[in-house]
Amino acid sequence: MKQGNVLLVAIILNIFLLSCDTSIEGSDPGEVFRYNQASNITSLDPAFSRDQANIWAVHQIFNGLVQLDSSLNIKPSIAHSWDISEDGTVYTFYLRDDVYFHEHELFESRDTRKVTAHDFVYSFNRLMEPNLASPGAWVFNNVKKRNGGYAFKAINDTILQIRLEEPFPPFLGVLTMKYCSVLPEPIVEYYGDEFRKHPVGTGPFYFKMWEEDIKLVMRKNENYFERDSIGNRLPYLEAIAVSFIIDKQSVFMEFAKGNLDFLSGLDASYKDELLTRNGNLNPKYRDRIKLISQPYLNTEYLGILVDDSLEIVQKSPLKMKKVRQAINYGFDRKKMMRYLRNNVGTAALAGFVPEGLPAFDSSVVNGYHYNPAKARQLLKEAGYPGGEGMPPITLSTTSSYLDLSKFIQHQLQNLGMKVEMNNIPPATLREMVAQSKLNFFRGSWIADYPDAENYLSLFYSKNFAPDGPNYTHFANARFDSLYEKAQHITIDSMRYELYRQMDNLVMEEAPVVVLYYDQVLRFVWKNIKGLGSNPLNLLTLKYVRKDNHSEKLN
């Protein structure tokens, strides 16, 4: 029996009940939201919220000064308002006086305490500590140095001031990142490195338990400061339960049985069951399931380490620009999207900056179209006619992207290039990429804030990993000059022009092979209310409600 038929039979035979979970004591099953995280969470410390798995969990537990709404507008959070100096270098934030940390026995009152501006000063200085080695330390690179420290100043308990070395127009957006969450100093200092699994924040849910690789539970914060539009206190849910099932077909079956409330993204194990060839929801599920979809500020790519001071680069043919360009020309992105992604997402035929950002302009930025003749010519010019004499190259990927990787492998082999696959777990891949131990790797960059600078920061030479997000170790003086110039320009149209010049330069040098610009996909039971979407694919659960009733497929 075909896989799709097996899945369909399983769905038909099951009654779609939203199952209860006895491990969440005292909770009505209709008030517990369940989702699966196939990529393991590595830390609940905001300082290490560098990937979606960590960000989704941290987002429920912590708050910062400001936040993004579903349209990526910057809105108040713990700061109810702010001022920016005329020269764009001084930001003054005015904090709410009704925000409290989650209850914890280590507070002096053995209960909780109010958040003050001093907590932000501590949290931001901690993020910059070299000994912490946070992957988010770079977000405050532009903050002015003062007396051996950084210019974060608590004017009093409710006024915080931040001084920048120079104007940086995306700075407010930067502050919406989870790295910039507020933390309670006594709790962090007590736990030290173990704060990663003992988080205390101010968010709509507080940490209850985490059995790594098994389950994470967060409970409703009864003292949360935000309210809905008619004055009801958020959140509505009683709890969140996160499972860590790796096998995607098993995840689909749990969703089908009602044990998960939504599926995020697309996987080969269920894409043809849930979607038509054109990327629409299969008509037979429309009475029970909603498909939420929109453009996603996520660029999927293959990264190539280009730092020739590293031995791993010196021994590889990928050190040659023409070989990297040949790879870019050597496979059909449109065909890949049609047959392997059901046309979910857009083939990346322009730059690294994705569709959905104002700086994106495919008429100006030159990407790569499928051109096998051009690829063969470049290989010949590189000294590898028909791939002859070219050493094998190894592409490191994960099981979720193995089908795409094999498609690229097959098409490149048609050009005479020998490509080997290295399939490794996501957490291992991320760590090895950060430590510059992989020459050719699958990557993705989800926007941290809605400005193209965020994408281009991956190629700024002062952001070399592991201290920053430049995982390819790309270094180019012209690029750096444009990048630094753009930071001083507050007129958007002028800044976008520089962004496009930078993007073109990256495409020419080819330290990356851009695959596609992604699309948010959420398959949600119709009894789930208030689960929207946003271009960052951030999972916001404080507005979610569940109607507790059975689902049954007719």
- Which helix H or strand E contains 211, and what residues bound it? strand 205-211
User: What is d(CA 140, CA 461) in angstroms, rounded to the nearest whole number?
Assistant: 16
- How many angstroms from the chain centroid is the CA of residue 85? 31
| DSSP characters over 222-235 | TT---B-TTSPBSP
Residue 375: its pLDDT value, please?
Answer: 98
Query: How many CA atoms within 13 Å lie on the side-chain side of 323?
Result: 24
Do 144 and 165 meet the contact criterion of CB atoms below 8 Å apart?
yes
Per domain, the residue ranges of the chain are: 1-38+211-288+526-554, 59-203, 296-518
Please tell me the predicted confidence (pLDDT) of residue 22.
Answer: 42
Q: What are phi and psi of 336, to 5 degrees?
A: -60, -45
What the block records as the tokens of 300 is: 């999927």
Q: Report, at the CATH architecture level, how domain 296-518 is classified.
A: Roll (3.10)
Query: What region does 513 belong to: left with phi over 0, alpha with psi -120 to 50, or beta?
Result: beta
SS3 at position 504: helix
The answer as to CATH 3.90.76.10 being correct for domain 59-203 is yes
- In angstroms, the first-to-last Cα distance of the chain is 22
Please identify, in words, the CATH class of the domain defined by 1-38+211-288+526-554. alpha beta
pLDDT reported for residue 21: 47
**Residues 490, 169: contact at Cβ < 8 Å?**
yes
Distances (CA, A) of 114 to 64, 82, 103: 14, 20, 11
3-state SS, residue 83: strand
pLDDT score at 374: 98
Segments of the chain with pLDDT less than 70? 1-30, 148, 548-554
Closest CA to 176 of 220, 231, 133, 136: 136
| pTM greater than 0.85 | no
Q: Tens digit of pLDDT for each residue in 452-503?
A: 999 999 999 999 998 788 999 999 999 999 999 998 888 889 999 999 999 9
